[in-house]
Amino acid sequence: HYYSIDENTLRNEEEEFKSILNELRIKKESGISTSNIEVKNFARRWKEIINSISPNDNEFQNNAERYYAENPDTATRVGIDPTLYKYIQDALINNLYSRNL
């Protein structure tokens, strides 16, 4: 996936990714619930970007989660600390739950 994306698209998605992480961080730090529609929409878009540039499989995701859990400083440098990651995952779960109601 990653290598088949043109440089311009990749750069745009990286900028959007950073912006979304910043918005999610602000929402989390403000105490806004993961069931909030804006939070769920940001989390959904974050996941779409991840899926567009990386394989959409559980093994890849599990390996990434393990790596960042074992290397929290690296995770923080790329903009996503463990608490923000959990916040995003909770919002994604809320998204799935609300669709199934």
Question: Which one is predicted more confidently, 80 or 31?
Answer: 31
Burial class (CB in 10 A: 0-12, 13-18, 19+), 56: exposed
Q: Domain total for the chain?
A: 1
DSSP string, 38-90: HHHHHHHHHHHHHHHHS---HHHHHHHHHHHHH-HHHHHHTT--HHHHHHHHH
Q: Which domain holds residue 13?
A: 2-99
- The string of pLDDT tens digits covering residues 32-73 is 999 999 999 999 999 888 887 776 667 777 777 788 778 878
Q: What is the pLDDT of residue 54?
A: 72
Over residues 19-32, the mean pLDDT reads 97
